[in-house]
């Protein structure tokens, strides 16, 4: 699973002119599931999201997590995080989960974040969305659940 997260002071997503999700301070999370992802991948990604210390403490140091600051998540599906640009100029998305599986993982991600105590707003899976945000910092971080296995080998 992959997530591109942005620390925001506000973010919203719109589908067909209607706002489907809007948050104040927290994380805008672009989320994608891959073909070989498992429940372990989801658990890792969600735990990492809520515990990353990327919010400033009173000294201005990134030392607080989403849980610490009482932040929210705007969860937006984005299968293009699995784009491969190795050959040619047209991206390939064959590593992304098929749409039905991706939709299930997206829903499970929302459920897991809620279970972990994070308020979650969402876009609409598979829809053409317009995302607005005020990036705070800016802080933008890439998460890939496949990296959890690499860190164990070091």
Residue 32 falls inside a structural domain: yes
Residue-wise pLDDT tens for the chain (154 aa)?
Answer: 999 999 999 999 999 999 999 999 999 999 999 999 999 999 999 999 999 999 999 999 999 999 999 999 999 999 989 988 888 898 889 889 999 999 999 999 999 999 999 999 999 999 999 999 999 999 999 999 988 876 554 4
Residue 134 falls inside a structural domain: yes
Can you give the pLDDT at residue 150?
Answer: 64
| Per-residue CA distances from 1 to 4, 43, 60, 134 (Å) | 10, 10, 31, 25
CA atoms within 13 A on the CB side of 85: 3
Can you give the pLDDT at residue 91?
Answer: 86
Residue 151 falls inside a structural domain: no
Identified catalytic residue from 20, 80, 85, 122? 80
Can you give the pLDDT at residue 90?
Answer: 87
Q: Give the CATH number, domain containing residue 9.
A: 3.50.80.10
Annotation says 38 is catalytic: no
Residue 127 falls inside a structural domain: yes
Residue 67 falls inside a structural domain: yes
Residue 113 falls inside a structural domain: yes
**pTM greater than 0.85:** yes
What range defines the domain where residue 91 resides?
2-145
CA atoms within 13 A on the CB side of 87: 3
- Based on the structure, what is the number of domains in the chain? 1
Can you give the pLDDT at residue 154?
Answer: 44
Phi then psi dihedrals of residue 123, to 5 deg? -90, -160
Can you give the pLDDT at residue 95?
Answer: 87
Residue 152 falls inside a structural domain: no
């Amino acid at each position: 699973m992959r997530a591109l997260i942005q620390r925001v002071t506000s973010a919203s997503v719109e589908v067909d002119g209607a706002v489907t999700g809007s948050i104040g301070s927290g994380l805008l999370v672009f989320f994608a599931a891959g073909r070989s992802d498992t429940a372990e991948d989801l658990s890792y990604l969600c735990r990492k999201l809520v515990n990353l210390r990327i919010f400033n403490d009173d000294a201005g140091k990134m030392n607080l997590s989403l849980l610490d600051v009482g932040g929210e998540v705007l969860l937006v599906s984005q299968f293009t995080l699995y784009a491969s640009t190795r050959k040619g100029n047209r991206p390939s998305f064959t590593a992304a989960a098929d749409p039905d599986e991706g939709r299930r993982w997206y829903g499970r991600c929302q459920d897991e974040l809620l279970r972990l105590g994070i308020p979650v707003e969402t876009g609409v899976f598979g829809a053409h969305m317009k995302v607005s945000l005020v990036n705070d910092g800016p802080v933008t971080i890439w998460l890939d659940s496949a990296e959890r296995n690499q860190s164990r080998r070091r």
